[in-house]
């Protein structure tokens, strides 16, 4: 029996159409896009086209797009870049308990260098406590970093409301980690000063990512030296990766409604099953994105459940793939304040590729394991 893959929020299989774009571009345009000869100009044209297409799909300008090696680099570039560039205005940063480790780890690094970090409270529905956010904001707050969609619970944050609050603090920039949002739900990047995502979350390729940087925002680069498409990120532009990224984003936009409808049906079926079982607690809020469904099984640690399911050929995750093992979920702790529940939590993440037969098999296995 083939594995039942239910960890699509960690990674997705590359779309064959995206792979074809990458391979065809790699064969035809292998030259350095920075080279001034004809082959280099051809490669540069591919990069420029990918920048324009990506920007158009996101509703932003091409010179606001920075290609990176992934969302983790994009998060580091935005957060460290803003912190260092605006340090004379203040060294206070606000974030949440829900962030990916590439955000929380970056903030820890800055804290060790003298920045002051405050984490805003999370309401029982998984959303940022806007009243608490207002009390944390100060004139020397230079950054507020919030994920658009939490990777463990699937909570959709009130980005527009947060942006409205931040307008009263001109020194404060707004960074949105949109990694679990782009390609899966509508996200208005114009609300942000910077925003990050990666195509491997929506059937693109690993090793590439995007940082959106609003015009006028200055960030200190992580990588110095060498010509590129932008002064903010040195390195030889990767024409095949850029073309593949824009292709994946295009397919996600074109097929958005169809994909979303399919995933929502799968989510509703699982929720109905979980609600009927007294030993299962649904942690994801009702208005979470349908792609992510976080649950806890009473009396069974999440890591033990993951291992038991893995032995049955079912692939799920405990927290995000980049989190530390055998520790309570910070996200579930934030909404439930229940350490046992947080230790028992685990995540199913769905795709339009998920088959009904796979959901049938999961339910059958859970019936046997839980009983």
What is the reported pLDDT for 2? 80
Better pLDDT: 335 or 262: 262
pTM: 0.95
What pLDDT digit, counting tens, does each position of 54-107 carry?
Answer: 999 999 999 999 999 999 999 999 999 999 999 999 999 999 999 999 999 999
Tell me the CA distances in angstroms from 5 to 10, 129, 251, 331, one per residue in order: 11, 34, 22, 23
What is the reported pLDDT for 325? 59
- CA torsion sign for 299, 310, 330, 186 is negative
Mean pLDDT of 27-37: 94
Q: Over the chain, what is the mean pLDDT?
A: 95
For residue 362, give the nearest of 264, 303, 295, 288 by alpha carbon. 295
Mean pLDDT of 253-273: 98
What is the reported pLDDT for 326? 63
Q: How far is CA 4 from the centre of its chain?
A: 23
Mean pLDDT of 255-280: 97
What is the reported pLDDT for 1? 55
For residue 257, give the nearest of 350, 183, 201, 202 by alpha carbon. 183
What pLDDT digit, counting tens, does each position of 97-141 carry?
Answer: 999 999 999 999 999 999 999 999 999 999 999 999 999 999 999
Round to whole Å and give the CA distance between 211 and 194.
Answer: 7
Domains and CATH numbers, the chain: 16-254 (3.40.640.10), 255-365 (3.90.1150.10)
Mean pLDDT of 315-327: 70
For residue 340, give the nearest of 281, 254, 293 by alpha carbon. 281
């Amino acid at each position: 029996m083939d594995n039942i893959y239910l960890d699509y929020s960690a990674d997705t299989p590359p779309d064959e159409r995206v792979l074809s774009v990458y391979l065809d571009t790699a064969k035809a345009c292998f030259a350095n896009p920075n080279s001034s000869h004809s082959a280099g100009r051809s490669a540069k044209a591919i990069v420029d086209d990918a920048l324009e297409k990506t920007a158009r799909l996101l509703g932003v300008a091409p010179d606001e797009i920075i290609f990176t090696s992934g969302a983790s680099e994009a998060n580091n570039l935005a957060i460290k870049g803003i912190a260092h560039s605006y340090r004379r205005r203040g060294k206070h940063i606000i974030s949440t308990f829900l962030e990916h480790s590439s955000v929380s780890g970056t903030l820890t690094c800055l804290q060790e260098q003298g920045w002051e970090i405050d984490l805003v409270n999370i309401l029982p529905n998984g959303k940022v406590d806007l009243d608490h956010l207002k009390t944390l904001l100060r004139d020397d707050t230079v950054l507020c970093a919030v994920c658009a969609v939490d990777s463990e619970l699937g909570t959709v944050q009130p980005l527009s409301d947060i942006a409205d609050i931040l307008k009263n603090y001109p020194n404060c920039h707004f960074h949105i980690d949109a990694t679990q949002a782009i390609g899966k739900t509508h996200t208005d990047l114009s609300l942000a000063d910077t925003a990050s995502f990666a195509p491997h979350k929506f059937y693109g390729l690993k090793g590439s990512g995007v940082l959106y940087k609003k015009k006028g925002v200055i960030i200190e680069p992580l990588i110095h030296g060498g010509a590129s498409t932008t002064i903010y990120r040195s390195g030889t532009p990767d024409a095949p990766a850029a073309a593949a990224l824009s292709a994946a984003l295009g397919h996600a936009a074109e097929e958005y409604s169809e994909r979303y409808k399919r995933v929502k049906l799968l989510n509703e079926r699982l929720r109905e099953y979980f609600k009927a079982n007294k030993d299962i607690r649904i942690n994801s809020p009702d208005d979470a994105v349908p792609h992510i469904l976080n649950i806890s099984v009473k009396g069974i640690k999440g890591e033990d459940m993951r291992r038991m399911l893995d032995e049955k050929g079912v692939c799920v995750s405990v927290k995000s793939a980049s989190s530390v093992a055998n520790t309570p979920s910070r996200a579930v702790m934030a909404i439930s304040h229940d350490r046992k529940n947080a230790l028992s939590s685990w995540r199913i993440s769905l795709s339009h590729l998920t088959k009904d037969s796979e959901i049938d098999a999961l339910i059958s296995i859970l019936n046997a394991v839980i009983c």
